[in-house]
Structure 1
Amino acid sequence: MLEGCKTAQERWGGVHDIIDRWLEQRRQLIELCIYLRDRGEFTPTDTPKIQSLCEMLVDYVSVGHFTVYEQLALEAKEFHDDSALVLLRKLLPKIDASTEVAIEFNDKYDTKEHCNSQLEALPFSLKALILVIAERFQYEDQLIKELHEAHSEKSA
């Protein structure tokens, strides 16, 4: 009975926290990408930072797919927002494509052995990754704006 009395704000207020934590992960990911991009040439002493990037990248992508996008879809369904669901279906394949690039990067550089054997290719791989995730961030921002912010206004 109490569950039925919750307002939309109470029900979806936790989504703000999820998104805020996720965007903080994004900020840290961007900072590390910029730090590594600006390094230029890499040596085996850079391997721990590169492995940290791989971990952060996989964590960020996972939270997006298994938490944030699910919450946004639930919100859209709760608010009977078919246009938001259409947008989600339109953008998710584009986001999925960037996930593939992130996973490939991770597989290429996730261990000390992998990383050290491919240090010469790292600047090119990093540049390609940054381009792809920058585009991904634009899609994610569009989802947050169109799905979550619109529903937040309706629940206020």
Structure 2
Amino acid sequence: MLNQVEIARQRWGGANKTIDNWLDERRQLLIQYCHLAGVNYQSANTLPDEAEVNEFCALLMDYLSVGHFEVYEMLVSDDADGQALKQELFPKISATTDQALDFNDQYAEGFNAQNTGEFEVAITQLGEALDDRFELEDRLIQRMHGLVNDSVTG
């Protein structure tokens, strides 16, 4: 997933400051995700502490909010193709938002001995949802980038 962020930054970086900042937030989110998911843990039985989970959940909520309230509408044009893309992608993105909100509700400010047993499954499922989400978001960015290039060359 981190490679996908770098590819996105290389493809679309510099086209729009808001998108650049958002991709930077995505990168930070993924770094935190990898840490929580145990990608860098020495022992497979080690779980993150509550502060790490809280920090990740805060980053996750910030990332979701920026997407929904600042970026998505900017990425989709009002023409028929843009609206069709919006109708196709937004419900799928919303489904990933629901999964992320469920994770946040379960673990933000409440990561403890009682729910650590389900954490590995929950973080894996969240990772799959985020991977899907990033692919969908990249389609939106690609659409915007194509329209910018079309207007510059046209």
TM-score normalised to structure 1 length? 0.80
Corresponding position of 2:32? 32
Deviation per CA, 1:100-145: give whole Å up to 9, x if none.
Answer: 000000000110xx21131121111100000111011000001110
CA distance in 2, matches of 1:101, 1:33: 15
Corresponding position of 1:119? 116
> Which residue of 57, 62, 71 corresponds with 2:60?
57
Root mean square deviation, CA, Å: 1.7
Question: Are 2:96 and 2:130, in contact at CA under 8 Å, matched by a contact in 1?
Answer: yes
CA distance in 1, matches of 2:24, 2:45: 28
Question: Are 2:15 and 2:145, in contact at CA under 8 Å, matched by a contact in 1?
Answer: no
Corresponding position of 1:151? 147
- In structure 1, the gaps of 5 or more residues are 1-13
> Which residue of 53, 70, 74 corresponds with 1:71?
74
Q: Which amino acid aligns with 1:85?
A: Q
Deviation at residue 36 of structure 1 after TM alignment: 1.3
Q: Which amino acid aligns with 1:83?
A: D
Q: Which amino acid aligns with 2:85?
A: L
* Larger RCO: 1 or 2 (CA < 8 Å, sep 6+): 1
Paired residues, number? 134
Deviation at residue 82 of structure 1 after TM alignment: 1.3
Greater helix content: 1
Deviation per CA, 1:25-80: give whole Å up to 9, x if none.
Answer: 0001111111111244355x61111111101111101110001012123xx12xxx
% identical equivalent positions: 34
TM-score normalised to structure 2 length? 0.81
Q: How does 1:78-117 map to 2 (within 5 A)?
A: 81-111=79-109, 114-116=110-112, 117=114
Q: Which amino acid aligns with 2:147?
A: H
Task: Report SS of the residue matched to 2:111.
Answer: helix
